Amino acid sequence: MQTAKVSEKYQIVVPKQVREKLGLQPGDRLLISVEGNRAVLRLQPRSYADHMRGLHKEIWQGIEPTDYLKEERNSWAERT
């Protein structure tokens, strides 16, 4: 666990070990959320498209995309 001190201007310095582990570079942005009594810092993805690629791919294993689309489109046609 690392610590950081809040300055009079409410700034903190990210400890060197954390910067190195996350690969932080000057100019990188961090996403900050509050979870209960904790502030959680996450590295903002440089590209959300790259970040989302492959997300939940296990859900789609064994499903043929073309067949899936055909079934969906057929279900839309049946509703009208």
Tell me the average confidence (pLDDT) per consecutive run of 10 residues in the chain, 80 residues long: 93 94 92 94 82 79 90 84
Tell me how many domains the chain contains. Answer: 1
20: helix, strand or coil: helix
pLDDT at 15: 94
Could you please report the per-residue DSSP string of 40-76?
A: EEEEPPS-HHHHHTTTTGGGGTT--HHHHHHHHHHHH
pLDDT at 80: 64
pLDDT at 76: 87
pLDDT at 20: 95
The answer to whether residue 53 is domain-embedded is yes
The answer to whether residue 9 is domain-embedded is no
pLDDT at 21: 92
Domain of residue 33 covers: 16-79
pTM: 0.54
